[in-house]
Each structure stands twice: as C-alpha cells, then as structure tokens.
C-alpha cells in the first residue's frame, strides 16, 4: 500500500536523542527530519506533514502533550501517528501520553528492535487507514457485498504477521479478519465470523460495548493494551492489541491489530525475577525488600499500624562454608529461609539481603509484641538441627529489631538501627534478639520471660481458681459464684490477671488456659455436689479465641459428661466483642451449648456494641452491668440512667441482670430499688480461694443477708 520511503519527524530538545533516533531509523530506509522544539515541530508539519512523529514529552517551550493535543485537534494532522518518547516509566505518565492523543509510548533508553517494530506497525496502520479513507466507497461496498475486491483486501491483511480483526459496532461481531487471526485464535474463518470479542475473552458484552464506543468517540483511537485472548482450546494467550475506529457509510468498524506477546511476557517475567528475587532462596532481594519497606512505612504513616523490622544474621555461617563447603552453606540458607517463612503470617514480608543476612517486615498494632513473638518462634525453630548433605548441623541466629516510627522514620535508618541491634545481640553471646532502644529491649525481655513462665505455669499447673459469690437481692442468699483465674508465680508472688491474661491471649495460650479453667470448675462442681455445699452454679469467662481456635462445644460437653455435672450448673460469661467476632460460628456454638442446658451471660454489658440486634440473635440468659456504671451510680445521674435502662431492657427481654463491682450500701439500695436481680462485689466478698469460699458458704449461703439487712 506504500511505495515511497516513509518520513518521520523527530521532535526533541536534546541533540543526542535526535541523533540516536536518526541512527536507529536509518537502516530501515526511513527519511528522518529533526527539530529541537515543539513550535518548530508544528511549523515543520504545517510545511509538509510527515508519516509519523517521534515526540519528546519534556521540552522547555512546549511539552509533548501540548503538541500532541494540537495535532489531534486539527483535522489536517489528526491522522498522523504519534509515538511519545520519555524517560518516565510509571503507569500515570504512560496514561497521560495516551490521553494527550499519542498512539504509542516508548521509554528511554530506546530498544532498537522495539522502535522498528512499533514504527513499522503504526505506519502500517496509517497506510491501512489512509487506504480505507481514500477508498471509503470501495471498502464500504466490499464489506456489504464480499466482492472480489474484498478478497484482495483480505489477501493484503493475510500478509501481516499480526492478527487483524474487524468488529462491527452495532452487532459487536467480527465482520472480517486475516489468516493470522485464525491461527492465533485456533478458530476457522467461518467460526470467527459467528463470534465477537467477548467470545475470545475480551470481556463481557457490556464491557466490550464500552470499549468500542470509547474508540468510536475518539478517546481510545489506536489504544494499545495488553489483554488475554482465549483460544478455541481454552488456552489463554497474552496479546498486545491496537484498536482504531473507521466509518463506512452509516456504520462503524473497529480494527483491532493483535500480536502474540507470549515470549515477551516470559522474558519480562524472567527479567523481573532476576531483578527482584534472590536466585538461591526465591525470597525478595535487597532492592525489592527496601522497596516494600518504603511502601509499608508510607501506609503506616496514614495510621494503619506500626512497623517492626527484624535484621537476622546466621551465627558462625562462615565456619559452615569454610568447613563443609559453599554447596552445603547454600543448602543451609535455603532450609533456613523455609523455617523463617514458617514463623511468619501471610501479611508479613521477608527478604534475603545477601550472604547470610535476612530481614523481616511486620505490621502490627503492637509491633514490639509481634517482633518478640516472631524472634522467639525463629530461635525456637532453630533448635532443630539442619540435615545438610547427610550431616546434622546446628545453627543459631542473632536478631536485631527496630520499630517505626519510634526509632526511625526512613527505611534506611530502620535497617541501620536493626543492624546495630543485631550486632549487639551477637556481642551479647549470639542466639538472641535485641531491640535498638534499650528500654524496649528490657521490656521485650520481660515479656518473653513472662510468656515462657506462663507456658511453664500451664505445664506444671501453677494456676488456681478464686471464686467471687453472686448474691440474689431478693433473698440475700449466695446463688452462684464466678471462677477467676489466679497465678502465684514462683519467685515473684501473685501476678495481676490484668498483666498475664493479655499475654496468654497474645501468645496463643488462652485456649489451653481456658480449657484448664473449665476442667477445674467441672471437677469442683462434682466435689461440691457430694458435700454440704451442694449444687452451686459456677460462671467461667470465655475468651474470643476459644470460639475461633478451639472446639468449645465439644470440650465443654466432654468435661460435663466426664464429671457427671448437670449443664445448668455451668454458666459462660462472654464479652460483647467476643460475641460479635466470627458471628455465625459463635451463634452455632452457643446454640449448641444452650440446648445442653448451659446458661449464657454477657459480661461488661454497656461497654461494647450493646445492640438489640445481637441480644435478639444470640441465645443470652443474663446481662452483667459493667463496674464502670456501678462505681458512680449514686453520684452521677448518667450512670444511674444507663443502669436503669439496662435493667429495664433486660427484664423486657426476659433476661436476668447482675451488677458487678458493688462496694457500698448505697449502691446496693439503688439496685434493689430498681429491681436488679443479682449483685457481686467487695461489699459482700472479694474473690476467695476455695477454702475461704467454703467457709463462707458453711451456714447455708445465708451470710449475705447480713449485708442486705
């Protein structure tokens, strides 16, 4: 369709860029003109329009986007293809160039082959467009009548290595295509003429319609896109498609030129893998790790958690290389990276910085606790020897930890401080972790010691239960007790539940501890039933994780059956937040327990969701008014009003009400007057060890009458 050499105008304010492009295009026989500014380019085009323009984006007098818009807005020059040449590689810059009207974008440095191919294809499309425009009447007749002239046009299309699909705007069906389109898609020509872009995986009909209308409207002319084409055999093939719209009488046809880019995608993936991932372990390399860390810091700066960085170095790794060889050392690094992965969560990031140095990114609400947990888990994982080439090798690691934003505000500083802390760990004897901040390090060690002590406490049954009586206001009798976990830590004395319960939850021990409490309570109820105490209901607190991580229903059912305890003597107290977590599962478990006869109580009511919806949905028997409302119930009208509202709400729903934290006669008098059912608190008794509780109950549970008198 073209016999003369194509003319290409190069617009760039950098002489070296102009000379380079001229040199790259010369071997292909193109005639090149060069100008140094956008204004000169417009003047040269007005004098004699070229076949194609290579246009620099950044120029001092008039940038490339402005030049492109002026050319595309002028009917005389709108058909001249434009390739933007830019050093900017980000997606936004590319979209800006295409929005300005460019048909294609090349990034510097320019690849010679890619330049030739893109220039060739755009010139081919322009030639085809010129041909169609100059011979519109002929093409229109060819599309309608499928005459011999159309066959000659089809033969011309068949000569290209790219697939060409002509799509009717009205029907969204293919009206013409070339041989390459058939071989690329795996369909025959007759089959394709019964199909449309949506049948080849180019989107749902509505999405295809949007694209077609966009192209016809001129916003997406010659749009270049990478998509997946679905072959007849179901295989998805990555292709590059360039689309343009052409009018034939009363109808529009979209021409899509499609190129198979399978090999290019494979090459890109190989290059990306080589550039960003460690070849030995498959972990992100130093460059990618720092990139991820910088992005994580930016996200955290918006208030989405804090960031902890762990710098990990294998101890005495050089000795392994020197004595057993580098091949064995490589095996150690691979196996170590696998164990490291096993200590992390899916949202964590890990990388190999080089040699035997690794790093981890943690995003947590409490990064200090998270870092301690991961460091402890990794050091524990390293206790198991590595099997390397038939040899058993023991390896340890030194770990340094820094935290954003407490220690530093940049990725480089965080890594530097974590490296410093790692060195301190090595100086301290290796096989240890250290925080960069001395105080954080001390706190972390204290927490780690506490966690290890709690594990030992569970193994050696150092915990015990205290019981706080629940008093029925109407009769003044003790009608039940609440079992509370207590820990007398060897060498330290009594540890506050506020101190050790959160640690049990954070380190995943709360399910074991909760199961121990339920088992101990069931045993105690069994013993009381054969003693003067008799049947005494006991309430136990249930943590949220016991619903998620444990099999709460099976555990309780088994313990009740094993001890011969009637279910109505066991009451479960749950916080509102526990009820709302994993709601469907929680409802199912509670309904199963309720059917067995257990009582369900909502603890600390009024401090969480306090929603009528969940009270209606969950099988609840009792509400416990939180101590925060009871404490000032006689002095603060707001607290009194809230308490009164909770009592009224509970009774309207046929639920019992328990007030906790009752410490004065005035509080008790108010609650009695408002119809509260039960109370517990220091006014009657603090939580008591077993012997003291049994002494209190010895007279038939009526001692509470003294407090009610």
The least confident of 87-101, 295-309, 410-424, 693-707 is: 693-707
301 lies in the same domain as 231: no
Q: Which residues have a Cβ under 8 Å from the Cβ of 145 and sit 6 or more positions away?
A: none
Q: Where among 95, 130, 165 does a domain terminate? A: 130
Residue of 470, 480, 474 lying closest to 533 (CA atoms): 480
116 lies in the same domain as 147: no
pLDDT band at 706 (very low <50, low <70, confident <90, very high): very low
Residue of 87, 74, 80 lying closest to 8 (CA atoms): 80
Residue of 79, 53, 87 lying closest to 67 (CA atoms): 53
Residue range 240-253: average pLDDT?
86
* Contact in structure between 26 and 3 (CB atoms under 8 Å): no
Q: What pLDDT is stored for residue 367 in this prediction? A: 86
pLDDT band at 567 (very low <50, low <70, confident <90, very high): very high
Q: What pLDDT is stored for residue 247 in this prediction? A: 85
CB neighbours of residue 464 within 10 Å: 13
Alpha helices in 530-636 (DSSP H): 544-548, 552-563, 576-580, 583-596, 612-617, 627-631
In a domain, 585, yes or no: yes
Q: What pLDDT is stored for residue 1 in this prediction? A: 43
Q: Where among 266, 301, 327 does a domain terminate? A: 266
> Is a pLDDT exceeding 80 seen at residue 202?
no
Q: What pLDDT is stored for residue 127 in this prediction? A: 81
Residue range 6-30: average pLDDT?
91
pLDDT tens digit string along 539-563? 999 988 888 777 899 999 999 999 9
262 lies in the same domain as 282: no
203 lies in the same domain as 287: no
Residue of 465, 554, 545 lying closest to 510 (CA atoms): 545
The least confident of 112-121, 210-219, 415-424, 522-531 is: 210-219
pLDDT tens digit string along 665-694? 999 999 999 999 999 999 999 999 999 999
Q: What does the alpha-carbon distance between residue 693 and residue 478 come to, in Å, rounded to a whole number?
A: 11
148 lies in the same domain as 209: yes
Residue span of the structural domain in which 382 resides: 277-449
Placement of tokens 């390459």 in the chain: 180
Name the 3-class secondary structure at 632.
coil
The least confident of 62-71, 360-369, 633-642 is: 360-369
25 lies in the same domain as 106: yes
> Is a pLDDT exceeding 80 seen at residue 588?
yes
* Contact in structure between 8 and 54 (CB atoms under 8 Å): yes
Q: What does the alpha-carbon distance between residue 511 and residue 80 come to, in Å, rounded to a whole number?
A: 71
Q: What b/e string do you get for 430-440 counting C-beta neighbours within 10 Å, with b at 16 or more?
A: ebbbbbbbeeb
pLDDT band at 698 (very low <50, low <70, confident <90, very high): confident
pLDDT tens digit string along 277-321? 898 999 999 999 999 999 999 988 877 678 999 999 999 898 888
Residue of 105, 95, 104, 53 lying closest to 74 (CA atoms): 53
Q: What pLDDT is stored for residue 215 in this prediction? A: 84
Q: How far is CA 110 from the centre of its chain?
A: 36
Q: What does the alpha-carbon distance between residue 123 and residue 3 come to, in Å, rounded to a whole number?
A: 12
Alpha-carbon dihedral sign for residues 608, 609, 612, 613: negative
348 lies in the same domain as 382: yes
CATH of the domain at 202: 3.30.450.20
In a domain, 673, yes or no: yes
> Is a pLDDT exceeding 80 seen at residue 273?
no
pLDDT tens digit string along 363-417? 888 888 889 999 999 999 999 999 988 888 899 999 999 999 888 889 999 999 9
Name the 3-class secondary structure at 79.
coil
CB neighbours of residue 424 within 10 Å: 18
> Is a pLDDT exceeding 90 seen at residue 699?
no
Residue of 698, 666, 660 lying closest to 680 (CA atoms): 660
* Contact in structure between 589 and 583 (CB atoms under 8 Å): no
pLDDT band at 109 (very low <50, low <70, confident <90, very high): confident
510 lies in the same domain as 638: yes
> Is a pLDDT exceeding 90 seen at residue 529?
yes
The pLDDT mean for the chain works out to: 87
Q: What does the alpha-carbon distance between residue 230 and residue 170 come to, in Å, rounded to a whole number?
A: 23
In a domain, 495, yes or no: yes
The least confident of 159-168, 198-207, 452-461, 564-573 is: 198-207
Q: What does the alpha-carbon distance between residue 272 and residue 254 come to, in Å, rounded to a whole number?
A: 34
Tokens of 477: 């009798």
86 lies in the same domain as 165: no
Specify which of 145-149, 504-508, 679-683 reaches the highest per-range mean pLDDT.
679-683
pLDDT tens digit string along 432-441? 999 997 776 6
CATH of the domain at 677: 3.20.20.450
327 lies in the same domain as 367: yes
Q: How many domains is the chain partitioned into structurally?
A: 4
Name the 3-class secondary structure at 349.
strand
> Is a pLDDT exceeding 50 seen at residue 607?
yes
Residue range 142-167: average pLDDT?
70
Name the 3-class secondary structure at 9.
strand
Alpha helices in 217-315 (DSSP H): 262-276, 286-300
> Is a pLDDT exceeding 70 seen at residue 150?
no
CB neighbours of residue 414 within 10 Å: 27
* Contact in structure between 78 and 49 (CB atoms under 8 Å): no
Q: What pLDDT is stored for residue 2 in this prediction? A: 46
Q: What is the pTM of this model?
A: 0.48
Q: What pLDDT is stored for residue 343 in this prediction? A: 92
Residue of 506, 273, 529, 293 lying closest to 402 (CA atoms): 293
Q: What pLDDT is stored for residue 582 in this prediction? A: 64
> Is a pLDDT exceeding 90 seen at residue 55?
yes
Residue of 470, 481, 454, 453 lying closest to 689 (CA atoms): 481
């Amino acid at each position: 369709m073209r016999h003369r050499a194509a003319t290409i105008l190069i617009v760039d304010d950098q002489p070296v860029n102009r000379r380079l492009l001229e040199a790259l295009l010369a071997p292909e026989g193109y005639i090149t003109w060069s100008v140094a500014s956008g204004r000169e380019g417009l003047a040269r085009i007005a004098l004699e329009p070229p076949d194609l323009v290579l246009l620099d984006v950044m120029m001092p007098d008039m940038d490339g986007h402005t030049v492109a818009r002026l050319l595309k807005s002028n009917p005389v020059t709108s058909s001249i293809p434009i390739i933007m040449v830019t050093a900017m590689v980000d997606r936004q810059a590319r979209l800006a160039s295409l929005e300005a009207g460019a048909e294609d974008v090349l990034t510097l440095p320019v690849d010679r082959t890619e330049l030739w191919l893109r220039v060739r294809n755009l010139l081919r499309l322009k030639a085809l467009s010129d041909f169609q425009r100059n011979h519109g009447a002929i093409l229109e007749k060819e599309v309608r009548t499928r005459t011999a002239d159309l066959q000659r046009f089809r033969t011309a299309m068949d000569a290209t290595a790219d697939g060409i699909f002509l799509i009717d705007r009205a029907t969204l069906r293919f009206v013409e295509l070339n041989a390459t389109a058939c071989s690329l898609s795996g369909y025959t020509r007759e089959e394709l003429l019964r199909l449309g872009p949506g049948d080849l995986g180019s989107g749902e009909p509505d999405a295809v319609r949007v694209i077609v209308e966009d192209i016809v409207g001129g916003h997406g002319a010659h749009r270049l896109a990478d998509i997946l084409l679905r072959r007849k055999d179901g295989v998805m093939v990555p292709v590059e498609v360039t689309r343009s719209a052409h009018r034939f009488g009363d109808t529009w046809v979209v021409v899509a030129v499609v190129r198979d880019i399978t090999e290019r995608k494979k090459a890109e993936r190989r290059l990306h893998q080589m550039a960003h991932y460690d070849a030995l372990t498959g972990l992100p390399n130093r460059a990618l790790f720092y990139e991820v860390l910088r992005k994580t810091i930016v996200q955290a700066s918006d208030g989405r958690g804090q960031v902890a960085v762990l710098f990990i170095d294998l101890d005495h790794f050089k000795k392994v290389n020197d004595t057993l060889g580098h091949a064995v050392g490589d095996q150690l690094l691979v196996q170590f990276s696998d164990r490291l992965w096993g200590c992390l969560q899916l949202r964590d990031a890990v990388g190999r910085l080089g040699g035997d140095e690794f790093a981890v990114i943690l995003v947590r609400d409490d990064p200090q606790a998270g870092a301690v947990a991961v460091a402890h888990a990794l050091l524990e994982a390293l206790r198991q020897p590595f099997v390397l080439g038939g040899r058993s090798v023991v390896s340890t690691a030194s770990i340094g930890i820094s935290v954003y934003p407490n220690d530093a505000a940049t990725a480089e500083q965080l890594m530097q401080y974590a490296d410093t802390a790692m060195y301190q760990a090595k100086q301290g004897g290796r096989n240890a972790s250290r925080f960069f901040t001395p105080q954080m390090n001390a706190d972390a060690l204290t927490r780690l010691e506490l966690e290890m002590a709690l594990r030992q406490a569970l193994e050696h049954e150092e915990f015990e239960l205290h019981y706080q009586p629940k008093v029925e206001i109407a009769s003044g009798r003790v009608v039940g007790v609440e079992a509370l976990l207590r820990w007398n830590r060897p060498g330290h004395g009594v540890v506050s539940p506020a101190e050790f319960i959160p640690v049990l939850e954070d380190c995943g021990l709360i399910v074991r501890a909760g199961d121990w409490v339920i088992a101990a309570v069931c045993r105690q109820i069994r013993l009381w039933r054969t003693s003067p105490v008799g049947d005494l209901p006991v309430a136990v607190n249930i943590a949220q994780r016991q619903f998620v991580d444990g099999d709460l229903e099976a555990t309780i059912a088994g313990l009740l059956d094993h001890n011969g305890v009637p279910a109505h003597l066991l009451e479960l107290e749950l916080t509102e937040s526990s009820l709302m977590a994993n709601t469907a599962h929680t409802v199912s478990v509670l309904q199963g327990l309720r059917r067995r006869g257990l009582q369900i109580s909502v603890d600390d009511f009024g401090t969480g969701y306090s929603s009528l919806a969940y009270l209606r949905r969950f099988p609840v028997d009792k509400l416990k008014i939180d101590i925060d409302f009871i404490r000032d119930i006689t002095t603060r009208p707001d607290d009194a009003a809230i308490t009164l509202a909770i009592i009224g709400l509970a009774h309207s729903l046929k639920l019992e009400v328990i007030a906790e934290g009752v410490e004065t006669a005035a509080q008790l008098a108010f609650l009695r007057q408002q119809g509260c059912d039960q109370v517990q608190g220091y006014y009657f008794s603090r939580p008591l060890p077993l012997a003291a509780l049994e002494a209190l109950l010895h007279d038939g549970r009526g001692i509470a009458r003294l407090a009610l008198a």
